[in-house]
Structure 1
Amino acid sequence: MDIRTFPLGPLETNCHVAVVGTAAVAVDVGGDPAQVAQFLKEKGLALEAVLLTHLHCDHLYGVGTLAREFGAKAYGGAGDAFLLDTEVGAGGLMGLPLVPPFDWEPIAPGETTLLGQPCRVLATPGHSPGSLSYHFPEAGVVFVGDLLFYRSIGRTDFAGGDYDALIRSVATEIFALPPATLVYAGHGPATTVGDEKRHNPFFSEFAR
């Protein structure tokens, strides 16, 4: 699996594009997706899906444009649907622009297949109630959105946020993955499960 990361939009949200063969998925599209579209076209890639880790506006600005251009569907957590009726999801929060309309469908936690590989959709609430993480076990990668960052965690003071739920999500879902699993977050650099277990100050009880 080849993974390219494009920081997009007003908060430089990471749009991760995962590629296997001639198929691709885009995880979160937080701004003008022109450079993502150019990459897909130059490589001759078919966009299978847009995967949404959560429905906060800074992860959504380019979803509709990219999905429509490539005829792909967008999928996210049903528990976040209400956010699209708030400034957190629809835009306007802290002066951020409004999100252009886009279509999406709920995806349930569990096993699915993407890019011809098994994909485990993990329920990882905390940053938002419907937050999802997408684990590709064969590739050894997980896309976590704003659940977990390099040496930090996502904020929990937006609508539906829950600090205790976030800590449980990381501990029970993400830290249960193999230590070498690459963790791709919504902002900042990639990290690994093992590195965060050892060094993330919010999870000092896991350090060895």
Structure 2
Amino acid sequence: MKWQQIPLGSIQTNCYIVENKDKTCLIVDPGGDGKKLLNLLNTRGLKPLAVLLTHAHFDHIGAVEDVRNTYQIPVYIHKQEEKWLGDPALNGSQFFPLIEPIKANAADHLIKDEGEMNIGEFTFNVCHTPGHSPGSVSYYFAKEGFVISGDALFQGSIGRTDLQGGNHAQLLKSIHDKLLTLPEETYVLSGHGPVTTIADEMDSNTFLNGF
């Protein structure tokens, strides 16, 4: 199993393609540039099974319908953001003047619990990591040694908490309780910026000091 990071959309949000040896794949946070993403999938002969969303901010959902409609696959999101996909006020697109309001259809599956999830041959764990937004989740692929953290944890930083439903204290607790407890060698695939590791963030992320 391997993964690929693809910055997409107006603010270059990281989309991730998690690929199995049989060319099936999961698409995490298709944030925009639908044609570019579809062309890449088609060129590589990949077979998407599902769209997984770490949360429903506009920069993570811009190409949801392009992927869902092209491949007729389900979309997963946490239940606390069930209504965000179709509401520009909740997903934030309404408040950015250079962004067209984004509306997507409702998710096909609501994530209600933490724990193991299986889609096709993919097995991973869902961790509820709220704070950046109420329904933020991280997807942890234990065997492969990486976690897709959305906008919870970045290299040297953490997610902003001044948007709808944000909570700084809750975000710090999520990071410490759910992410920093992972093996230190775990790769952190963030929603923006470069890949990091749990060890590096424990050692040098000043936002986490003194929690």
Q: Give the structure-1-normalised TM-score.
A: 0.93
1:88-127 residue CA offsets vs partner (Å, 9 max, x unmatched): 4162212121114234121232211235232100000000
Identity rate of aligned residues, in percent?
36
Q: Number of residue pairs matched?
A: 206
Shift of residue 2, structure 1, vs aligned partner: 1.8
Counterpart in the other structure of 1:72: 73
Aligned pair in 2 of structure 1 residues 46, 201: CA closer, same or farther (>3 Å)?
A: same
Shift of 1:43: 2.1
For the Cα contact (< 8 Å) 1:53–1:144, is it kept in 2? yes
- Aligned equivalent of 1:140: 145
1:91 paired residue number: 93
- Residues 122-168 of structure 1: CA deviation (Å, up to 9, x unaligned): 00000001101000101111001100111000000111100011000
| Deviations, residues 39-93 of structure 1 (Å, cap 9, x unaligned) | 2222221101111000111111100111110111110111123434352416221
Contact 1:64 1:100 in 2 (8 A): no
Counterpart for residue 117 of structure 1: 122
- Answer whether contact 2:88 2:101 (CA < 8 A) is retained: no
Show the counterpart of 2:134: 129
In structure 2, what is the equivalent of residue 55 of structure 1? 56
Could you say which residue in structure 2 is the equivalent of 1:180? 185
Q: 2:196 aligns with which of 191, 197, 202?
A: 191
RMSD value over aligned CA atoms?
1.6
The equivalent residue for 2:3 is 3
Aligned residue in 1 for 2:42: 41
d(CA) in 1 for partners of 2:182, 2:92: 33
The 8 Å contact of residues 88 and 159 in structure 1, kept in 2 or not, is answered as: yes
The residue aligned with 2:15 is: 15
In the alignment, the residues of structure 1 paired with residue 84 and residue 122 of structure 2 have an alpha-carbon distance, to the nearest angstrom, of 31
Greater shift, 64-73 or 94-103, is seen at 94-103
| Structure 2: gaps (5+ residues) | none
Q: Which residue of 1 aligns with 2:105?
A: 102
Query: Do the aligned residues in 2 keep the contact of 1:127 with 1:147 (CA within 8 Å)?
Result: yes
| Structure 1 range deviating more: 105-114 or 22-31 | 105-114
Q: 1:162 aligns with which of 162, 167, 177?
A: 167
Q: Is the 8 A contact 1:54 1:77 kept in 2?
A: yes
User: Displacement of 1:193 after TM fit?
Assistant: 0.6
CA gap of 1:51–1:16, structure 2 versus 1, over 3 A, is same
Tell me the SS of whatever aligns to 1:65.
helix
* More off after superposition, 194-203 vs 73-82: 73-82
